[in-house]
Amino acid sequence: MLNNIGIPGLLLIAVVVLVLFGRGKVSSLMGEVGKGINAFKKGVKEETEELSKASDDAVDVTPKDKDKV
């Protein structure tokens, strides 16, 4: 369904959104979307750093010699 929109369709949708909501509302909405994306990226980066730090602090408890049974 969305595969056949193309450039003219996207431009038409953008014009309709601008007419309905106005330039100020759309720009503030896009600003909030940008802030959300930045917060998400920051959270992912912090979590990755935390996981790598935890893996660096981990102690290897595997036995050096295998027990013969």
Within 10 angstroms of residue 17's Cβ, the number of other Cβ atoms is 13
Q: Is residue 16 part of a domain?
A: no
63 domain residue, yes or no: no
Q: So what's the pLDDT on residue 21?
A: 86
Residue 44 identity? V
Q: At what angle do helices 6-21 and 23-57 cross, to 10 degrees?
A: 110
Residue-level pLDDT at 46? 93
Task: Quote the pLDDT of residue 2.
Answer: 62
Task: Yes or no: say if 25 and 17 are a contact pair by the CB < 8 Å rule.
Answer: no
Mean pLDDT for the stretch of residues 1-26: 85
Q: Which domain holds residue 29?
A: 23-55
Q: Identify the band that residue 26 occupies on the pLDDT scale cut at 50, 70 and 90.
A: confident
- Model confidence pLDDT, tens digit, residues 36-54: 999 999 999 999 888 888 7
Domain membership of residue 32 (yes or no) is: yes
Average pLDDT over residues 53-63: 73
Query: Number of structural domains, the chain?
Result: 1
